[in-house]
Chain A
Amino acid sequence: MKHFLLLAACSLAAFAGLIKAPEKAIADLYPKGSFAKKTILLSSDEAARVEALAQEKLDSKIVTYYEITTPEGPVYAYVQTVRVRSKNLAAMTFVEGSGTIRAIEIIAMFEPMEYLPPQKWLETLEKKSLADPIRPKRDIPAITGATLSANAVSKSARTALAIHSVKVAKP
């Protein structure tokens, strides 16, 4: 019984809502990088263009992103919160200056952890750009048993790429 309680106490962290703080996600991917956090407000016109490009509805015109300076050039990390079933998932999409996805990290998950997309699946989104559909079951696989999570992450990625294209990318 004592061992059971100890195991239960130790396991709490594994099932908390927040998986990784955004700053920690950046530091893990770019240990030698420095970053600046930015918050911007999209105009109505910009928001409409983002929605058209992403084919998703924006929940807010306020966008927070991190501009990361790395030896290979700037990388932009966008945090998007999307509904999975009745709870949220927060994904951080790292976009290279060229507008392609460098990596995706799930930083918070409020649905049961069994619906968390596996790392291997997240890697299938790397190198995708706005030119790709980024739709589960089409150019990326679906996840058996976590279909709604896959849909949520792909929505988050498309939205991040669209914001990057409309507001952040340098011409």
Chain B
Amino acid sequence: MKKIVATTCILAASLYGATADSQIKALEDRLNELQSQNALIIEELGKLKEEKEITGTESFTGMGVAASKVYRSESALSVGGYGEMNYVNKTGSDPVTDLYRFIPYIGYKFSDSIIMNTELEWEHGGKESEGGYVIVEFSYLDFLLHKNANVRVGHILVPMGNVNLRHEPPLYLGVNRPDTEKYVIPSTWHHNGLLVFGEIVEGLSYQAGIIESLNANSMVGENIREGRLSARNKNANQASIVARIDYNDAAKGLNVGFSVLNGTLNHDDNATLEDAAVGITMYDLHLTYKSGGVDLKALYAKADIDDEALIGYEGSEGYYVSVGYDIMPLINAGAKAELLPFVRYEVFDEVITAADDEKTNTTVGFNYKPVSNVVIKADYMITEQSGKDDVKAVELGLGYLF
């Protein structure tokens, strides 16, 4: 009897063991199947992600994989912009807070080679009675033909200096732009015209073309800045040629170049200026260096006007050097933020006359960028001019770029 019981127990245990083994095997198979399915799902999701972002399924003009589908997957409409708000407390003036600029960029890609780009500008909040305004700062079509030669036509930024082409607040040191690039090169300077641009060899680029000339009537007794035209010019009777060459050594963070403009000033129907042909020549040498924590910018610019007697001055001239150094790695080596104390020194003559009215600006301050496209600025600027009291200004600023 004992033998029968023992045999039954052994048999039962064996049967139970066999069942457990088969259940474990079944679970293992199921797990392997789920793992395979999981891997397939991840792979398929990866393909979808990749297809959406970079590749497609068909070739595009011999470029390899599926450019056209990728291309279509991106919207043709592009929106960007920048803005800045300032506080300025200057001796002899009441403190001012100002939503100085809000600027949306709108771009549209009609085809791979025809692109529209527009910058709208709201300055000082846009309310005219408070000195604000809204204008189209640029609006042009690019015809991208070849990396060596492309065409830009419409209302364009005049390709001179450091600031006129690149004036978003996170890109320069100090709350306000250098006065040399405001009164000698009248940034932001945008006229109707046509440019050809491209790369001559790697690192060497050019822009050259024809733009409407500055308006002499507005400049008389004022300064060159007042001669800027708006997008509608009722007296488009004169043009200027403009050219620019830049050498960019990307491996060193260095950009150096020069620009030149020559032409005859425009004029309204005016008895004094109607038959006058007043020539203007403007040129600049510019440099930027951004590497090793250093942010260096320098520029020399000069404008010569042919007929001093008619306009009231013979031109304008100025230079500046600004240098900042990112000290954040010294405070926190791993920080993404940047902290750049800087100093800027500039000398400029807004209108060159017999009078000794040259101004010198010395600015010290810092740019703090918690992320690369947002900047908080503070500086202290002293303006010296012969025979006048120094003007001292405390400036605070907030800027962004998107």
How many angstroms from the CA of A112 to the CA of B338 in the assembled complex? 27
Flag the segment in A16-24, A43-51, A95-103, A162-170 that touches B: A16-24
Decide if A141 touches B147 in the complex (CB within 8 Å). Answer: no
Give how many A-B residue pairs fall within 8 Å (CB-CB).
175
B64 contacts A138, CB within 8 Å? no
Q: How far is A76 from B288 in the complex, measured between Cα atoms in Å?
A: 36
Interface residues of A in 16-34 (CB under 8 A from B): 16-24
- Given A16-B71, A79-B54, A113-B144: A120 in contact with B203 (beta carbons within 8 A): yes
Contact with A along B239-279 (1 / 0, CB 8 A): 00000000011111111000000000000000000000000
Residue from A85, A111, A124 with most neighbouring chain B CB atoms (10 Å):
A85
Q: Count residues of chain A with CB under 8 A from any CB of chain B.
A: 59
A144 near B53: Cβ-Cβ < 8 Å: no
- A119 to B, closest residue via Cβ: B202
Q: Is B355 at the interface (CB under 8 A from chain A)?
A: no
| Chain A residues closer than 8 Å to B70, beta-carbon distance | 17-18, 108
Q: How far is the CA of A62 from the CA of B51 in the complex (A)?
A: 13
What is the CA–CA distance of A12 and B47 in the complex, to the nearest angstrom? 27
Question: Residues of A contacting B47 with CB < 8 Å?
Answer: 39
Contacts A85-B78, A118-B248 given; indicate if A13 touches B61 (C-beta within 8 A): yes
Q: How far is the CB of A70 from chain B (nearest CB, A)?
A: 21
A14: Cβ under 8 A from any B Cβ: yes
Query: Is A75 an interface residue when CB atoms closer than 8 A count as contact?
Result: no
Contact between A145 and B248 (Cβ–Cβ < 8 Å)? yes
- List chain A residues, Cβ under 8 A from B334: 55, 133
13 A-B pairs whose Cβ atoms sit less than 8 Å apart in the complex: A11-B146, A13-B61, A18-B55, A18-B56, A24-B65, A85-B78, A85-B402, A86-B402, A90-B54, A121-B250, A124-B250, A137-B294, A144-B253
A contact residues vs B (CB 8 Å cutoff): 7-8, 11-24, 39-41, 55, 60, 62-64, 79, 81, 85-88, 90, 107-108, 110-113, 117-121, 123-124, 133, 135-145, 147-148, 151
